[in-house]
């Protein structure tokens, strides 16, 4: 078209051939545009040209006017040239708007990416911080666990130390016992009732009672001195062998100081005297009961008739403790408050005030015992799980957590002792209490050697059971800390329960009639049975004996107010009278212990 000469005056190539010129816009619009476009509008044509990237070449009026005329429009495109048709394909409609948008999008994307990058970085930073924090917490946790382990270790050491203490105390008791035997012999020979005072010679057999007892075993000063010096020396030796105990046991330290300094420090023996007080409370009423003397106020005449066979065993079994008049604050007033025969109810079963119900595993093959045991435990507001033999018990302990295990010994499949030793291989803490009627010394040693913590003799009583709960589950109680319960390894503690219990029932050894049916019976246990627990026997037996001595001392103050009126079994206590002299020591510990136990309920 541009080459067409007929349009030369309207539209044509420029001279250089690199642009075209609309010479006469009016003519171009009127004659040419309608042939090629649907409109006849020059402005539209120009817009279209612009869209295809044609550029209008500005007329340079200053430069002497346009070479093609004043009304001409010259348009140029790099690829729109007169002799180069091939380049026409390169002439394309511009897409200015879209291209701009793309640019914007790209820019925005970059920004977004940057923002996202920033965010990711921030997040990684936060994540890093959190990881660090977790690591710190983890290490803290490790530290805490280590600390706990340390504490546990310390506790174990402490326990070990307590055990050593028990042993030492026990040995001391043995020597004192021997000493007292000597004293008794001397007194028997003399047969003179007289006041007994501590004679300031540091003799453990004759502690001074703060109350200045008016009656008591008679000690021949000259005779006892010989006996006394030796035990004290040996006790001294024992203590020297275990010096580490002393810092943990002020009483023992005092004891040592006493033995070292000899006279003038006898007052320190009041510690031991205090310990023994409850024991005497136990034995005195028992005696008076056996002798049909029931004092009205409990403080009056517990006069000991010399030569009375009933009395002799007591002075023998005194373990070096003098006979004090009973102390009111120790609650022995309640002792004579025994209900009349035929009482309908015993002391009410008061369940401990648990914070959370203790989980108790009762391992028992005998249906009767299991039923009663679980009922007792339920009444004590424990949650009870049952296992009918040792194998089941081990499985349950392996898979579940319990606060206490009551374990029968003789069972099918797996006996309780083996079960306990198996349990101890993966669980060293859960208290396991042997529940059995086999409570001879060697039996009990077996239980303890296999990781059992205590013995609850059959038939177990609510007192015995509550005692165990008190002893091992005090940490679960809502009001904790009133009664020291860190007392381990005193199976006599339990045995006395049984004895006291049997005492109420067994008629075989009864020798004297009594007012209450319970009083009638003195000792239900065959003498030969207890004969296996002589005094200086295996450490465990004796150490428990000695430990039992300590308990009443601890119990003295904290429980005194509650004891009055609740203690009610003189009959149970009276059985000691029947025992042979050689067994009195053992028995007496149990009496004391029973006394202590009673005060708790």
Q: Which of 252, 502, 551, 594 binds other proteins (CB under 8 A)?
A: 502
Count of residues in contact with other proteins, rule CB under 8 A: 42
Which x/- pattern over 182-221 shows residues binding other proteins (rule: CB under 8 A)? ----------------------------------------
Q: Per rule CB under 8 A, is residue 529 in the interface with other proteins?
A: yes
Minimum separation from the CB atom of position 382 to other proteins (A): 14
Minimum separation from the CB atom of position 601 to other proteins (A): 13
Give the residue with the Cβ less far from other proteins, 476 or 520.
520
Minimum separation from the CB atom of position 502 to other proteins (A): 6
Q: Per rule CB under 8 A, is residue 442 in the interface with other proteins?
A: no
Cβ neighbour number for residue 343 with a 10 Å cutoff: 12
Cα gap 544→170, rounded to integer Å: 8
Give the residue with the Cβ less far from other proteins, 274 or 435.
435
Give the residue with the Cβ less far from other proteins, 148 or 410.
410
Cα gap 449→443, rounded to integer Å: 10
Minimum separation from the CB atom of position 378 to other proteins (A): 9
Note if the bond before 459 is cis, omega within 30 degrees.
yes
Give the residue with the Cβ less far from other proteins, 304 or 360.
360
Q: Which of 96, 395, 526, 565 binds other proteins (CB under 8 A)?
A: 526
Three-state secondary structure of 466-511: HHHHHHHCHHHECCCCCCCCCCCCCHHHHHHHHHHHHHHHCCCCCC
Q: In the window 287-346, what residues touch other proteins (CB under 8 A)?
A: 341-342, 344-346
Minimum separation from the CB atom of position 366 to other proteins (A): 5
DSSP designation for 366 = -
Cβ neighbour number for residue 499 with a 10 Å cutoff: 25
Q: Quick one: which of 359, 410, 373, 368 has its CA closest to 389?
A: 410
Give the residue with the Cβ less far from other proteins, 276 or 436.
436
Q: Which of 504, 575, 578, 598 binds other proteins (CB under 8 A)?
A: 504
Q: Which of 379, 418, 474, 566 binds other proteins (CB under 8 A)?
A: 379
Q: Which of 20, 73, 302, 376 binds other proteins (CB under 8 A)?
A: 376
Residue 539, C-beta contacts closer than 8 angstroms, at least 6 positions apart: 167, 170
Q: Which of 338, 462, 471, 477 binds other proteins (CB under 8 A)?
A: 462
Q: Which of 508, 511, 561, 565 binds other proteins (CB under 8 A)?
A: 508
Q: Per rule CB under 8 A, is residue 461 in the interface with other proteins?
A: yes
Q: Per rule CB under 8 A, is residue 386 in the interface with other proteins?
A: no
Cα gap 98→305, rounded to integer Å: 127
Residue pair 255/239 in contact (Cβ under 8 Å)? The answer is yes
Cα gap 294→287, rounded to integer Å: 10
Instruction: Please report the sign of the dihedral spanned by the C-alpha atoms of residue 457, residue 461, residue 463, residue 466.
Output: positive
Q: Per rule CB under 8 A, is residue 505 in the interface with other proteins?
A: yes
Q: Which of 79, 199, 366, 537 binds other proteins (CB under 8 A)?
A: 366
Give the residue with the Cβ less far from other proteins, 122 or 529.
529
**Which ranges in 6-51 belong to alpha helices (H)?**
25-27, 33-36, 42-51
Give the residue with the Cβ less far from other proteins, 30 or 375.
375
Q: Which of 6, 35, 309, 368 binds other proteins (CB under 8 A)?
A: 368
Minimum separation from the CB atom of position 355 to other proteins (A): 24
Cα gap 395→399, rounded to integer Å: 6
Q: Per rule CB under 8 A, is residue 395 in the interface with other proteins?
A: no
Q: Per rule CB under 8 A, is residue 64 in the interface with other proteins?
A: no
Any bridge partners for residue 436, and if so which?
457
Q: In the window 264-283, what residues touch other proteins (CB under 8 A)?
A: none
Q: Which of 403, 408, 454, 556 binds other proteins (CB under 8 A)?
A: 408
Q: Which stretch binds other proteins (CB under 8 A): 142-150, 237-245, 387-395, 506-514?
A: 506-514
Range 219-224, long-range pairs (CB < 8 A, 24+ positions): 219/183, 219/186, 219/187, 220/183, 220/186, 220/187, 220/190, 223/182, 223/183, 223/186, 224/179, 224/182, 224/183, 224/186
Q: Which stretch binds other proteins (CB under 8 A): 149-157, 212-220, 242-250, 522-530?
A: 522-530
Q: Quick one: which of 290, 424, 430 has its CA closest to 360?
A: 430
CA diameter of the chain: 171
Q: Which of 92, 136, 371, 401 binds other proteins (CB under 8 A)?
A: 371
Crossing angle between the packed helical segments 367-379 and 462-472, to the nearest 10 degrees: 60
Task: Kindly list the distances between the CA atom of residue 291 and the CA atoms of 304, 305, 511, 516, 517, in Å, as whole numbers in the listed order.
Answer: 10, 10, 12, 14, 16
Q: Per rule CB under 8 A, is residue 506 in the interface with other proteins?
A: yes
Give the residue with the Cβ less far from other proteins, 341 or 484.
341
Q: Per rule CB under 8 A, is residue 369 in the interface with other proteins?
A: yes
Q: Per rule CB under 8 A, is residue 518 in the interface with other proteins?
A: yes
Q: How many CA atoms lie within 13 A of 295 on its CB side?
A: 20
Minimum separation from the CB atom of position 521 to other proteins (A): 8
Q: Which of 524, 552, 553, 576 binds other proteins (CB under 8 A)?
A: 524
Q: In the window 148-167, what residues touch other proteins (CB under 8 A)?
A: none
Q: Which of 215, 259, 494, 501 binds other proteins (CB under 8 A)?
A: 501
Cβ neighbour number for residue 431 with a 10 Å cutoff: 18
Q: Per rule CB under 8 A, is residue 507 in the interface with other proteins?
A: yes
Q: Per rule CB under 8 A, is residue 460 in the interface with other proteins?
A: yes
Q: Per rule CB under 8 A, is residue 567 in the interface with other proteins?
A: no
DSSP designation for 355 = S
Q: Per rule CB under 8 A, is residue 438 in the interface with other proteins?
A: yes
Residue pair 339/346 in contact (Cβ under 8 Å)? The answer is no
Describe the chain by its helix, strand, coil percentages, rounded to 5.
55, 5, 40
Q: DSSP assignment of 172-226, as one string?
A: HHHHHHHHHHHHHHHHHHH---------SS--TTSPPPTT--S------HHHHHH
Residue 424, C-beta contacts closer than 8 angstroms, at least 6 positions apart: 432, 450, 451
Q: Which positions lie near other proteins, rule CB under 8 A? A: 341-342, 344-346, 349, 366-369, 371-373, 375-376, 379, 408, 410, 436-438, 440, 458-462, 501-502, 504-508, 517-518, 524, 526, 528-529, 531-532
């Amino acid at each position: 078209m541009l080459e067409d000469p007929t349009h030369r005056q309207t539209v044509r190539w420029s001279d250089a051939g690199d642009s075209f010129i609309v010479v006469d816009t009016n003519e171009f619009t009127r004659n040419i545009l309608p042939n090629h476009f649907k409109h006849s509008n020059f402005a539209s044509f120009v817009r279209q040209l612009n869209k295809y990237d044609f550029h209008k070449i500005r007329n340079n009026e200053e430069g002497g006017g346009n070479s093609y005329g004043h009304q001409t429009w010259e348009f140029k495109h790099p690829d729109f040239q007169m002799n180069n048709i091939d380049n026409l394909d390169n002439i394309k409609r511009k897409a200015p708007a879209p291209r701009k948008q793309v640019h914007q999008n790209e820019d925005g994307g970059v920004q977004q990416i940057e923002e996202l990058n920033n965010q990711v970085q921030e997040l990684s930073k936060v994540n890093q911080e959190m990881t660090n924090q977790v690591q710190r917490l983890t290490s803290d946790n490790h530290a805490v666990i280590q600390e706990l382990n340390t504490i546990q270790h310390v506790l174990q050491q402490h326990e070990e130390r307590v055990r050593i203490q028990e042993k030492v105390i026990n040995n001391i008791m043995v020597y004192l016992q021997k000493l007292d035997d000597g004293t008794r012999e001397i007194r028997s020979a003399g047969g003179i009732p007289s006041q007994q005072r501590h004679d300031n010679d540091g003799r453990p057999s004759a502690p001074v009672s703060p109350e200045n007892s008016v009656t008591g075993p008679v000690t021949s000063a000259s005779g006892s001195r010989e006996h006394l010096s030796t035990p004290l020396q040996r006790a001294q030796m024992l203590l020297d062998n275990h010096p580490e105990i002393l810092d943990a046991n002020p009483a023992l330290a005092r004891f040592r100081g006493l033995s070292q300094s000899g006279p003038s420090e006898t007052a320190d023996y009041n510690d031991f005297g205090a310990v023994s007080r409850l024991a005497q409370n136990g034995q005195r009423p028992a005696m008076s009961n056996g002798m049909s003397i029931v004092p009205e106020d409990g403080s009056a005449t517990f006069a000991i008739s010399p030569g009375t066979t009933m009395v002799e065993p007591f002075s023998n079994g005194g373990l070096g403790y003098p006979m004090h008049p009973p102390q009111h604050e120790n609650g022995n007033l309640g002792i004579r408050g025994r209900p009349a025969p035929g009482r309908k109810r015993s002391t009410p079963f008061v369940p401990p005030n648990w914070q959370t119900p203790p989980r108790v595993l009762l391992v028992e093959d005998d249906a009767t015992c299991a039923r009663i045991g679980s009922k007792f435990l339920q009444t004590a507001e424990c949650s009870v799980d049952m296992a009918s033999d040792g194998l089941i018990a081990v499985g349950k302990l392996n898979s579940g957590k319990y606060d206490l295990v009551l374990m029968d010994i003789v069972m099918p499949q797996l006996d309780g002792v083996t079960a306990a030793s198996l349990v101890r291989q993966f669980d060293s803490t859960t208290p396991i209490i042997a529940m059995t009627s086999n409570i001879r010394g060697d039996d009990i040693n077996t239980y303890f050697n296999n990781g059992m913590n205590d013995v609850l003799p059959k038939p177990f009583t609510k007192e015995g059971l509550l005692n165990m709960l008190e002893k091992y589950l005090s940490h679960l109680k809502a009001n904790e800390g009133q009664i020291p319960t860190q007392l381990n390894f005193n199976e006599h503690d339990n045995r006395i329960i049984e004895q006291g219990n049997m005492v109420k029932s067994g008629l075989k050894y009864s020798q004297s009639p009594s007012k209450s049916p319970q009083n009638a019976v003195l000792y239900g246990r065959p003498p030969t049975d207890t004969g296996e627990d002589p005094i200086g026997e295996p450490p465990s037996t004796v150490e428990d004996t000695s430990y039992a001595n300590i308990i009443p001392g601890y119990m003295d103050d904290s429980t005194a107010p509650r004891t009055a009126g609740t203690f009610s079994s003189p009959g149970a206590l009276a059985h000691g009278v029947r025992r042979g002299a050689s067994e009195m020591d053992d028995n007496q510990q149990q009496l004391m212990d029973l006394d202590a136990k009673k005060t708790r309920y």
